[in-house]
């Protein structure tokens, strides 16, 4: 068998950790991994009840799934998560950083507390989770892949997303720096920059920060070029492809996943 043929048939990641894995895009990625034959997944989140529900849903699909309570704003939790996942599954070859805080703030009204929270959850947490993940991959001498969920706001973002945009832009840079640093270790790192997405978290955000009515989603989708917001189930196969050997040498990429094109202007 030629090397390129072998890569086409190597299938899914084997042992994966997903932060923010109990709902929304994180859970959609976990579900896709299970469907593709991933041998084990660990979901990380702050809510044990959601964790139990997500694990039960994955087990119903035949998956080997576990929940670890962890707050990625806490560096010790990031390290604990990877240690616990290795204890549950063995050496890890896949990591998804999907956990995020979406608090609002503009240049003029962002408090130091909001800035710190967004940076801790969206940049520092993924950084130290990746640090622990890469260390265990090196210890076990295995190839591995990381997918970071960033956002189209890394290109700018609305005025009320100033600290959120900055935190996701930081994660985009961390993605490229990690990819460069660990190419020769056969550890790949890529990111997906998602556009406006239909998730439970977005529903809560719209109602909390924008006083959105119950039918906000219907109205928002009617105004979009494709008549919908981005759906987690549409992004999940891209994430699992990036995690798997099928994506070959692809590393350091930040893939825009949206119906609006960065840098385009009205004609």
- Percentage of the chain exceeding pLDDT 70: 96
Does residue 228 contact residue 195 with C-beta atoms inside 8 Å?
no
Residue 11 has pLDDT above 90, yes or no: no
- Residue 4: pLDDT band by 50, 70, 90 thresholds? very low
Does residue 169 contact residue 191 with C-beta atoms inside 8 Å?
no
267 within domain boundaries: no
Residue 142 has pLDDT above 60, yes or no: yes
260 within domain boundaries: no
Secondary structure of 80-127 as H, E, C letters? HHHHHHHHHHCCCCEEEECCCCCCCECCCCCCHHHHHHHHHHHHHHHH
For the whole model, what pTM was predicted?
Answer: 0.93
- Residue 3: pLDDT band by 50, 70, 90 thresholds? very low
Question: What are the tokens at 103?
Answer: 């608090």
262 within domain boundaries: no
CATH number for the domain including 99? 3.40.50.720
First CA to last CA distance, the chain: 51
DSSP codes joined into one string, 183-251: GGGTEEEEEEEE-SB--HHHHHHHHHHH---TTHHHHHHHTSTTSS-B-HHHHHHHHHHHHSGGGTT--
Please tell me the total number of residues recorded for the chain in this structure: 267
124 within domain boundaries: yes
With 0-12 / 13-18 / 19 or more C-beta atoms within 10 angstroms meaning exposed / middle / buried, residue 63 is buried
210 within domain boundaries: no
211 within domain boundaries: no
- Tens of pLDDT, residue by residue over 230-249, are 999 999 999 999 999 999 99
127 within domain boundaries: yes
- Measure the CA–CA gap between 109 and 49, rounded to whole angstroms: 34
Range of the domain at 80: 3-195+230-255
- Tens of pLDDT, residue by residue over 165-182, are 999 999 999 999 999 999
Neighbours of 2 (CB within 10 A): 7
163 sits in which H/E element:
helix 162-181
- Measure the CA–CA gap between 175 and 193, rounded to whole angstroms: 12
- Tens of pLDDT, residue by residue over 74-88, are 999 999 999 999 999
41 within domain boundaries: yes
Number of structural domains found in the chain: 1
Compute the chain's Rg from CA coordinates: 18
């Amino acid at each position: 068998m030629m090397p390129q043929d072998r890569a086409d048939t190597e299938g899914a990641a084997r042992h994966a950790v997903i932060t923010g894995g109990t709902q929304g895009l994180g859970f959609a990625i976990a579900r896709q991994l299970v469907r593709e034959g991933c041998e084990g997944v660990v979901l990380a989140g702050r809510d044990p009840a959601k964790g139990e529900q997500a694990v039960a849903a994955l087990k119903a699909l035949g998956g080997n799934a576990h929940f670890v309570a962890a707050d990625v704003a806490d560096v010790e939790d990031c390290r604990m998560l990877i240690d616990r996942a290795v204890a549950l599954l063995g050496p890890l070859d896949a990591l998804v950083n999907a956990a995020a805080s979406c608090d609002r703030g503009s240049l003029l009204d962002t408090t130091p507390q909001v800035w710190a929270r967004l940076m801790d959850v969206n940049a520092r947490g993924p950084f130290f989770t990746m640090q622990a993940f890469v260390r265990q991959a090196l210890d076990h001498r295995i190839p591995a892949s990381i997918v970071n969920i960033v956002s189209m706001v890394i290109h700018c973002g609305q005025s009320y997303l100033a600290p959120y945009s900055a935190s996701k832009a930081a994660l985009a840079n961390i993605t490229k720096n990690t990819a460069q640093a660990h190419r020769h270790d056969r550890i790949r790192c890529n990111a997906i920059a998602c556009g406006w997405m239909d998730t439970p978290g977005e529903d809560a955000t719209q109602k909390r920060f924008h006083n959105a009515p119950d039918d906000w989603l219907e109205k928002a989708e009617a105004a979009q070029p494709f008549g919908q917001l981005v759906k987690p189930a549409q992004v999940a196969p891209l994430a699992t492809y990036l995690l798997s050997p099928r994506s070959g040498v692809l590393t350091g990429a930040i893939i825009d996943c949206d119906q609006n094109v960065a840098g385009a202007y009205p004609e």
